[in-house]
Amino acid sequence: MNKRILWVLLCSVLLVSCSKQTTLTENRILLGTVCRITVTDENAQTALENGFRAIVDVENAISRTKLESQISQINQQAGISPVSVTPEIFHLIKTSLYLAQISNGAFNPAIGPLVDLWGIGTEYARLPESEEIEEICKLCNWRDVELDEATYSVFLPKVGMALDLGGIGKGYAAEQVLESFPASHALINLGGDILVSGGKPNGSAWSLGLQDPFAAQGVHFMIIEGKDIAVVTSGPYERYFEQNGIRYHHILDTATGYPSETGISSVSIIARDPMLADALATAVYVMGKEQGMRLINELDGVEAVLVTQEGTVIVSAGFHTNNFFSWKMTASYPII
């Protein structure tokens, strides 16, 4: 072995032995949910700080309760004037509208007025009158949203219109967390929307459990194993209120104005892109099993698993042959 190679080898050994990777986990309440970041890195503390700062930035940009957020500004100027936003938020809104288009409006980022009317998850949650619902739905047309690429401005042409990015925001935030630090092993769990970067510190794939919609929190019906994947679940059990024995949940269908009823208990999407996964989980929930699966089967690199109200598990066409994750059932539901 010549001296040069020996020297390079020696330096590499020194570098490896000097690198002290630590694993840190922290939970914070942001985006109205528990956000957990676990990171293994030489600068794990810095990575955590950067990651949480990224979530705070997303919250400050898209929150509907913060009046100064970019989304609130757009909503306050509905029917008045266009609002210029950052290129990032412009891109997020544009992506949301694209998802509305491919899901035929099942995912609807212009759903704000309907979300406010029902107030699900707030202390003013109530069952609205059908006339109110009919009127409010007229303000939820995502095709009315006007984007101007040249000025990054967004205009809601009717007074009372409002964007609500609650169905895509956690996925977007997860993506922003990963962009904020270069850690090769990280797990980001934003209220159940999960994104993993790389594999586990020992090199193996991450195991991510899918919540059993009929069991207590933390009980899984399926385990997904993979690296660099996002796993996002939408279900009616997340937020709801009950009146006269009927449960009204937070995933609304702007075609009817009511909580979506398609016989589904949960939808999980597995994809590389967490933002896409988040929006598609909401979309497929609203679309139902036939239409929803048709959409998923048209998209590359996106798989879905849904549980029907009868307890049957339905998987997308590429689920068995996909090459980016493996899976195993941990409950005895029939699978189609």
Nearest to 191 by CA among 131, 113, 281, 304: 281
Q: Quick check: 115 binds ligand AMP (CB under 6 A)?
A: yes
Give the N- to C-terminal CA distance of the chain in Å, as an integer: 59
Instruction: Let me know the angle formed at the C-alpha of 270 by 266 and 274, rounded to the nearest 5 degrees.
Output: 100
Residue numbers 45-64 binding ligand AMP by CB under 6 A? none
Candidate ranges 106-114, 127-135, 178-186, 324-332; the one touching ligand AMP (CB under 6 A): 106-114
Closest CB 155 distance from ligand AMP, rounded Å: 20
Q: Which of residues 52, 107, 118, 248 is near ligand AMP by CB under 6 A? A: 107
205 neighbors 226 (Cβ within 8 angstroms): yes
Name which of Mg ion, ligand AMP, none residue 284 binds, using a CB cut-off of 5 to 8 Å depending on partner kind.
none
Token pair in block for residue 151: 């000025």
DSSP code at position 212? P
Interface mask toward ligand AMP for 152-181; x: CB under 6 A: ------------x-xx--------------
Contact set with Mg ion (CB under 5 A): 167, 278, 281-282
Q: In 198-335, where does DSSP find H-type helix?
A: 274-287, 289-298
Interface mask toward ligand AMP for 203-242; x: CB under 6 A: -------------------------------x---x----
Q: Which of residues 83, 137, 186, 252 is near ligand AMP by CB under 6 A? A: 252
Token pair in block for residue 187: 């797990």
Shorter beta-carbon distance to ligand AMP: residue 41 or 212:
212
Classify burial at 9, counting beta carbons within 10 Å of its beta carbon; exposed 0-12, middle 13-18, buried 19 or more.
Answer: exposed
Q: Per DSSP, which regions of 64-145 are E strands?
A: 83-84
**Is the C-alpha dihedral spanning 325, 326, 330, 331 positive or negative?**
positive
**Is the C-alpha dihedral spanning 263, 212, 117, 69 positive or negative?**
negative
Q: Quick check: 186 binds ligand AMP (CB under 6 A)?
A: no
Closest residue to ligand AMP using C-beta atoms: 166
Interface mask toward ligand AMP for 268-287; x: CB under 6 A: ----------x--xx---x-
Measure the CA–CA gap between 82 and 231, rounded to whole angstroms. Answer: 35
206 neighbors 200 (Cβ within 8 angstroms): yes
Closest CB 64 distance from ligand AMP, rounded Å: 8
Candidate ranges 78-86, 107-115, 302-310, 312-320; the one touching ligand AMP (CB under 6 A): 107-115
Scored b (16 or more CB within 10 A) or e, 70-88 reads bbbebbebbeeebbebeee
Nearest to 165 by CA among 242, 64, 84, 244: 64
Shorter beta-carbon distance to ligand AMP: residue 185 or 289:
289
Q: Binders of ligand AMP: how many residues, by CB under 6 A?
A: 17
Q: Which of residues 89, 92, 111, 154 is near ligand AMP by CB under 6 A? A: 111
How would you classify the pairing of strands 230-234 and 240-243? unpaired
Residue numbers 285-314 binding ligand AMP by CB under 6 A? 286
Candidate ranges 21-29, 128-136, 249-257, 299-307; the one touching ligand AMP (CB under 6 A): 249-257
Name which of Mg ion, ligand AMP, none residue 175 binds, using a CB cut-off of 5 to 8 Å depending on partner kind.
none
Chain contacts with ligand AMP (rule: CB under 6 A): 107-109, 111, 115, 164, 166-167, 234, 238, 250-252, 278, 281-282, 286
